Each structure stands twice: as structure tokens, then as C-alpha cells.
Amino acid sequence: MTQDNRAPFVVAHRGASGTRPEHTLAAYELALQEGADGVECDVRLTRDGHLVCLHDRTVDRTSSGTGLVSEMSLDELRDLDFGNNGAPSPVLTLRELITLVLDWRSRPTKLFIETKHPVRYGALVESKVLAELQRYGIAAPASADHSRAVVMSFAATAVWRIRRAAPLLPTVLLGESSRYLGGSAATTVGATAVGPSVKTLREHPELVDRAAAAGRATYCWTVDDPEDVELCAELGVSWIATNHPGRIKKLLDGN
Ligand code: G3P
Ligand code: CA
């Protein structure tokens, strides 16, 4: 994920979630059509061991149903609608999203997978994520730049688990504290990038240079405001996650 004085790569946060319901196939298809360089998703495990692309612990906010994701089977989730009262949209599995990204032939888009913690199934989440990446032959890339997948977490232990089991896979240690991200945590767990919020970066722009000096890239979220895009570009942030990938791509391209 290194780069030399180029504009940040644009990552569609939960797909083009400013326009389409988050984490739906429609949101990811739009992001890819809009030219996103990467797509981000959160993953959770169902009761029967399937990885699904969902942010919250419950389905209450984003679906027609209620309940904890960890207590539902994939079939039960498939009975719900995640279309936010628009076109009906079923739950998206990580496997379906990987397939979409790898089959998108027009450009080699990266998939940023975020594991959430603490969760009921603990370390099983990372081992299932790795199993999925291995299944598609993308768990041991030739280099971080060429990797089609990146695994991220706010939980340092989760990043460490990925690093230990798949040392060639790029990882992002997410955080909101500059002291944490600028300290030794990323080195300790072997993260290849740090992921501050845009608020943290505004207050601590030195984080980008500090990461670069340690050989790490910077991934900043969630960058929707043009002034923040400009800040990230000036600082040399490698990746910016946005809910509006089409708009931000145009901005960076000078259109
Ligand atoms: O891309 C990182 C960002 O998604 C972290 O925050 O709450 O949107 O998962 P959250
Ligand atoms: Ca996320």
C-alpha cells in the first residue's frame, strides 16, 4: 500500500452507502461502477458460522427484522430485507462480496474487511475470514501492493491473529486515539497500516508521516467532506474510505 505523491485511493465505505443501502449488493455494484479503488465491509458471524457483511450487532437498524446477528442463521437473515424501503435487498455474505470484487474485470479493486470485537465468537471470526481468503487464493499475496484483500480491526489482537496466520496479508490497525496509533501498538501487532478517523487526523496530521517513517501506510475514514479529502491528499494518506466514492473520485480527478 505504499505510494509516491499520488492522490489517495478511494475506498467505498460499506459500498456506495451514501446513495444505496449500506452493505448491499446494490451499494457495492454502484461503488465499482463509480470507479472505487477499493470497497470496505464489516463482517459478523451468524449462529451457523457464515460471514455476513453487517456493521451492527443487531439487524434492527438496517433490516426489516430485529435480533442479534450472532443468534440468527444465514437462512433466517435471508428472510429479511436490507433495502431500507427501496428495492428489496437480501443480506450479503462475505463470499458473495469477494466473488463480486474478483469478478469485476475492469480494474483490480481491493477488498477491505473489518472484523468487529468484542463478539460472541471471538477469534473464530478471523479464522473464518482467512479461510474465505484462502478459498479464493488471495490470502498470501506477492506483495501488499498487489494484495486483493486487506483485513482491519479496532482490536489489536484481531490484527495480530491475521498477521501471525497470514504474514503476507496487509492489515490496518484502526483507532481514534493519536497516542495509540502513533505509539507502539501497530508495531507490536505487525500492522502494515494505521487507520485513524478523519477527526483524529485533523487534530494529528503528523500521524501520516509518523506511520510512513515506520514503513506503514495510512487509511483514513470516513472522508466525505471535500476539505477533508484535500487534507488527506496533502498529507499523503494512502487510502480514504468514503460513503460517496463517485463524488470523491471526481473531486480527486479534478472534475
Ligand atoms: O473503515 C473503518 C470504519 O468503517 C470504522 O468505523 O464504525 O464505520 O465500522 P465503522
Ligand atoms: Ca467498518
228 Cβ below 6 A of ligand 1: no
22 Cβ below 6 A of ligand 1: no
Q: What is the CATH number of the domain that holds 65?
A: 3.20.20.190
Q: Tell me, what's the pLDDT at 64?
A: 98
Could you please report the per-residue DSSP string of 64-91?
A: SS-SBGGGS-HHHHHTS--STTSS----
Mean pLDDT in residue range 186-204: 98
Ligand 2 geometric centre to CA of 117 (Å)? 12
Average pLDDT, the chain: 96
Tell me the pLDDT tens digit for each residue of 56-84. Answer: 999 999 999 999 999 999 999 999 999 99
Closest ligand to Cα 219: 1
Q: Which residue has the higher pLDDT, 107 or 207?
A: 207
Residue 37, in any domain of the structure? yes
Residue 4, in any domain of the structure? no
Cα-Cα-Cα-Cα dihedral sign, residues 151, 152, 157, 163: positive
Residue 1, in any domain of the structure? no
Catalytic machinery residues: 13, 55
Q: Tell me, what's the pLDDT at 105?
A: 87
Which residue, among 240, 231, 241, has the nearest Cα to 203 in the 3D structure? 231
In whole angstroms, give the CA distance from residue 196 to residue 3. Answer: 18
Question: Is pLDDT of 239 > 80?
Answer: yes
Ligand 2 geometric centre to CA of 252 (Å)? 23
Could you tell me which residues are beta bridge partners of residue 219?
239
Which residue, among 145, 148, 151, has the nearest Cα to 100 in the 3D structure? 148
Residue 99, in any domain of the structure? yes
Query: Which string of b and e fits 31-53 if b means at least 16 CB within 10 Å?
Result: bbebbbbbbbbbbbbbbeebbbb
- Residue closest by Cα to atom 10 of ligand 1: 55
Question: Is pLDDT of 202 > 90?
Answer: yes
Residue 2, in any domain of the structure? no
Local confidence band at 194 (pLDDT 50, 70, 90 cut-offs): very high
- Residue closest by Cα to atom 1 of ligand 1: 221
Domain count, the chain: 1
Q: Tell me, what's the pLDDT at 255?
A: 77
Q: Tell me, what's the pLDDT at 4?
A: 54
Ligand 2 geometric centre to CA of 22 (Å)? 11
Tell me the pLDDT tens digit for each residue of 156-172. Answer: 999 999 999 999 999 99
Tell me the pLDDT tens digit for each residue of 8-38. Answer: 999 999 999 999 999 999 999 999 999 999 9
Q: How many CB atoms lie within 10 A of CB 253?
A: 10
241 Cβ below 6 A of ligand 1: yes
Ligand 2 geometric centre to CA of 209 (Å)? 24
Q: Tell me, what's the pLDDT at 2?
A: 40
Residue 3, in any domain of the structure? no
Domain with 113 in it? 9-253
pTM of the model: 0.97
Work out which ligand 1 atom sits closest to the CA atom of 112: 1
Tell me the pLDDT tens digit for each residue of 94-103. Answer: 999 999 999 9
239 Cβ below 6 A of ligand 1: no
